[in-house]
A and B are shown apart, each in its own frame.
Chain A
Amino acid sequence: MSEARGLTSWLTTTDHKRIGLLYFWTALAFFLIGGIEALFIRVQLAQPNGQVVSAETYNQLFTMHGTTMIFLALMPLGASFFNYMVPLQIGARDVAFPRLNAFSYWVFLFGGLLLNASWFVGPLFHAGMLNVAPDGGWFGYANLTERQYSPGPNIDFWVLGLQILGISSLAAGFNFIVTILNMRAPGMKMMRLPAFTWMTLVTQFLIITAFPVITVGLAFLMFDRFFGTHFYVREAGATPILWQHLFWLFGHPEVYILILPAMGVVSDVLPTFSRKPLFGYPVVVYSGILIGLMSWGVWSHHMFAVGLGPIADSVFAATTMLIAVPTGVKIFNWIATLWGGDIRGTTALHFAVGFIAMFIIGGLSGVTHASPPADLQQTDTYYVVAHIHYVFFGGTIFGLFAGVYYWWPKMTGRLLDETLGKVHFWLQFIGMNLAFFPMHLIGLLGMPRRVYTYAPELGVGTLNLVSTIGAFLIALSILIFLVNLWRSRTHGQPAPNDPWGGATLEWSVSSPPPVYNFSVIPTVTNRLPRWSTERHGPMRDPPAVPPEPIHVPGGSWWPMVAALGLPVLALAPLTQTLWVAFVGAALLIAGVYAWAFQPFEV
């Protein structure tokens, strides 16, 4: 029953906690890569007529920055937490399909590596290094991405990489829907689920419904580029607008796929550090579900500039304003949770409150896009860049950092240093406002996004310099965060089961939890099992030593073998070599069959 050690045990692991840690470190690495790309962008834009990078390199930098941050950093950081925490929060020993979970991770890793390999493999395509990375923007608008206008392998890497990453998200989506609905401990009713688990559930439903749409959009692009179809070719009677519809039909739910887990984290962190139950828990849950549903009805607000006509524009303006309502409801719930609470100003709480403040700003600028006449002025300017960064950096990243400081002791058994944590918070908070607030003004003054430089006459040089300084402050804050993580290995105080006095089940087991999670599966009698309220006392923690032996499923190589088949398959069109496709298909099929017939009792 003792935990297996060594490299093999990690490569074959099916333990949700280890997979959560693998997701964490991998996503953190990609987050740093995406951050370095952002710094290059900011250095280039620090002054007018910047000469640091060429226009071609700049296109690759902003494309890879956006793609990396969304698909390789934010989504998998959320995945790291729902992998680690959801089984613990619902009182389960693992997810419903442990090997499928491992498969999701390996597919994510290989997809991310394939995308980023594009930086270095230029010479294989008779181009220089740093020449064949994707360069069509993170939304890859057709028909710019067609072979006619993007002849190199750049877009191929993007299309194939995203297809692979989609498979990872879909597999995790099915897995976590079943886990949350079906693996709950006795008495853990749906309306007793911790808010983070609830928001994860909504996120998974968005993933399994939104990703098929982008899959089809990308498949069309792939067929256009490799097999001579005309899905987005105007000359053949097609309309490139089809891509925009398919992309944003996926893209707007994706926005909520990125923000809902962070909202869930904050909804767990605030009650713990206010010593108060989440204010209006059912409303937080229902508004989360409502956001999920409504996120399907707003996509065309990304397309006001297309000119879809007054009726379509009016409808989407209305739905876009409406979706701000359930979001606003959540914000009031969070504030009311803090109100009158016994507040402890931990780093995790700092980040959670920072999330609320920054997300309000991002939400407000979002509502300004809902008005088509205003949006036409903002489209493709830095104003939109400011909005997206207040939502994703001020929102998702702050929320996820709240999660890191909150759950790190549970995941590693060591507390992070609170002083360093607060230095990290304040530097990041000041840095992000310096970096992104001026972008509102830069945009309204007329600077277009995705253009590699600007003329001094535009008068946005100073604002851009401020923004660049802000970006470097963020970088410094992240360095301090990394130091904090590193120091905690040796200098961090050992964490008890429950360093914060949390209400939910993950705090009832040791830090880090034993491989089987719960020595005895808990029976849940209320929504805040570990707190005493006027109606009940706290539940007893499971015993440290299991009263009877617990079966822990062994590892498996096959999820990784099957996952490896996908990037190999992707290499076939990239290298125009047919036999590579057979190797990839063989790996995938062999992996799936060996997996299916491997004895594996959950």
Chain B
Amino acid sequence: MTAHTSMGLDNRKMAFWAFIGSECLLFGSLISTYLVYKGKSIVGPYPPEILNIPFTSVSTFDLLMSSLMMVLALAAVQRGDMKWGKIWLFSTALLGLVFLGGQVIEFTDFVHKGLTIGTNLFGCTFFVLTGTHGAHVTVGVLWLLTLWVRALQGKLGPANAMTVEITGLYWHFVDVVWIVIFTVVYLIQ
């Protein structure tokens, strides 16, 4: 599949790096907006009353571990070990799903505590920022599950290692973005 290229880098991989660069500006704008509007809400609830750092720390750890699974999945596919390739791909997706489940629980909890997307500026910026991130995780989970199904069908092998590598690029990027969000939104209040 990988034809000769001028820079020696696979076309899809290069496109993905460009995409990730573009995504940095997207999340950069969202995070900047969060920071610009920090402390500007004129009605509560305010972040310290709402944010549950221990709970989200567990989600964060879960997402970090999913990146480890992703690395193991790529390594397995590259060496042609599709048995473990399938296991690690599914584990990555599963941990992604656990993270999304955590987000659902968190959002529901916040709504019960009186913070909706329209309550105040904290609600607006928080839900749109973390929601956009959650949407990215959702796309990643669908992508990983698709690869996993392809692997079950025997249609994913070492020849497709580049596909898995690009999936990994995306997944790690989404993970890194979460580290930034977790730091900026939760830890530095």
Chain A interface (Cβ < 8 Å from any Cβ of B) = 96-97, 170, 173-175, 177-178, 181-184, 188, 208-213, 215-217, 219-220, 223, 227-231, 236-238, 242, 246, 249, 593, 602
B120 touches A208 (CB 8 A): no
Judged by a CB distance under 8 angstroms, whether B3 is at the interface is yes
Residues of A within 8 A of B9 (CB): 182
Chain B interface (Cβ < 8 Å from any Cβ of A) = 3, 5-7, 9, 11, 14-15, 18-19, 21-23, 25-26, 28-30, 33, 36-37, 40-42, 117-118, 120-121, 123-125, 128, 146
**Closest A-B pairs by Cβ, 10 of them:** A228-B118, A212-B26, A216-B29, A212-B25, A229-B124, A208-B22, A182-B5, A184-B6, A237-B42, A237-B40
Contacts A182-B11, A237-B40, A242-B36 known; A229 to B118 CB distance under 8 Å? yes
A231 touches B124 (CB 8 A): yes
CA distance A173 to B146 in the complex (A): 26
Q: Apart from A181-B7, A216-B26, list 6 A-B contacts with CB within 8 A.
A: A208-B18, A223-B124, A236-B42, A237-B121, A238-B124, A242-B37
Contacts A182-B5, A215-B26 known; A220 to B118 CB distance under 8 Å? no
Residues of B within 8 A of A188 (CB): 6
B30 touches A602 (CB 8 A): no
CA distance A231 to B3 in the complex (A): 47
B120 touches A230 (CB 8 A): yes
A211 touches B22 (CB 8 A): yes
A178 touches B18 (CB 8 A): yes
A223 touches B22 (CB 8 A): no
Q: How far is the CB of B24 from chain A (nearest CB, A)?
A: 8
CA distance A97 to B18 in the complex (A): 14
Q: How far is the CB of B149 from chain A (nearest CB, A)?
A: 11
Q: Which residue on A lies nearest to B33, using beta carbons?
A: A242
Residues of A within 8 A of B6 (CB): 181-184, 188
Residues of B within 8 A of A182 (CB): 5-7, 9, 11, 14
Residues of A within 8 A of B125 (CB): 231
Q: Which residue on B lies nearest to A596, using beta carbons?
A: B146
CA distance A35 to B129 in the complex (A): 40
CA distance A117 to B57 in the complex (A): 48
Q: Which residue on B lies nearest to A230, using beta carbons?
A: B124
Q: How far is the CB of B83 from chain A (nearest CB, A)?
A: 24
Could you name 7 residue pairs across A and B whose Cβ atoms are closer than 8 Å? A177-B18, A182-B11, A182-B14, A220-B128, A227-B118, A229-B118, A242-B33
CA distance A209 to B118 in the complex (A): 29
Q: How far is the CB of B91 from chain A (nearest CB, A)?
A: 23
Q: How far is the CB of A551 from chain B (nearest CB, A)?
A: 11
CA distance A209 to B29 in the complex (A): 11
Q: How far is the CB of B173 from chain A (nearest CB, A)?
A: 14
Residues of A within 8 A of B123 (CB): 229
Residues of A within 8 A of B25 (CB): 209-210, 212-213
Q: Which residue on B lies nearest to A210, using beta carbons?
A: B25
CA distance A216 to B117 in the complex (A): 16
CA distance A96 to B121 in the complex (A): 43
Q: How far is the CB of A188 from chain B (nearest CB, A)?
A: 8
A212 touches B40 (CB 8 A): no
A178 touches B11 (CB 8 A): yes
B15 touches A175 (CB 8 A): yes
Contacts A215-B26, A220-B33, A238-B37 known; A174 to B19 CB distance under 8 Å? yes
Residues of A within 8 A of B128 (CB): 219-220, 223, 229
Q: How far is the CB of B70 from chain A (nearest CB, A)?
A: 19
CA distance A373 to B124 in the complex (A): 37
Contacts A174-B19, A215-B26, A228-B118 known; A237 to B41 CB distance under 8 Å? yes
Q: How far is the CB of B178 from chain A (nearest CB, A)?
A: 18
Q: How far is the CB of B79 from chain A (nearest CB, A)?
A: 25
B21 touches A208 (CB 8 A): yes
Residues of B within 8 A of A223 (CB): 117, 124, 128
Q: How far is the CB of B53 from chain A (nearest CB, A)?
A: 25
CA distance A230 to B43 in the complex (A): 12
Residues of B within 8 A of A238 (CB): 37, 40, 121, 124
Residues of A within 8 A of B14 (CB): 177-178, 181-182
CA distance A458 to B41 in the complex (A): 46
B33 touches A177 (CB 8 A): no
Residues of B within 8 A of A215 (CB): 26
Q: Which residue on A lies nearest to B36, using beta carbons?
A: A242
CA distance A41 to B26 in the complex (A): 36
Residues of B within 8 A of A249 (CB): 29
CA distance A170 to B123 in the complex (A): 29
CA distance A406 to B52 in the complex (A): 64
B7 touches A209 (CB 8 A): no
A602 touches B22 (CB 8 A): no
Residues of A within 8 A of B117 (CB): 223, 227-229
Contacts A183-B6, A211-B22 known; A177 to B40 CB distance under 8 Å? no
CA distance A97 to B25 in the complex (A): 23
Q: How far is the CB of A229 from chain B (nearest CB, A)?
A: 4
CA distance A173 to B37 in the complex (A): 31
CA distance A236 to B121 in the complex (A): 7
Q: Which residue on A lies nearest to B131, using beta carbons?
A: A223
CA distance A118 to B29 in the complex (A): 29
Residues of B within 8 A of A211 (CB): 22
Q: Which residue on A lies nearest to B42, using beta carbons?
A: A237
Q: How far is the CB of A493 from chain B (nearest CB, A)?
A: 37
Residues of A within 8 A of B146 (CB): 593
B15 touches A178 (CB 8 A): yes
CA distance A349 to B25 in the complex (A): 39
Q: How far is the CB of B135 from chain A (nearest CB, A)?
A: 11
Q: How far is the CB of B25 from chain A (nearest CB, A)?
A: 4
Residues of A within 8 A of B18 (CB): 173-174, 177-178, 208
CA distance A209 to B26 in the complex (A): 8
Q: Which residue on A lies nearest to B11, using beta carbons?
A: A96
CA distance A575 to B5 in the complex (A): 47
Q: How far is the CB of A588 from chain B (nearest CB, A)?
A: 12
B22 touches A170 (CB 8 A): yes
Q: How far is the CB of A582 from chain B (nearest CB, A)?
A: 16
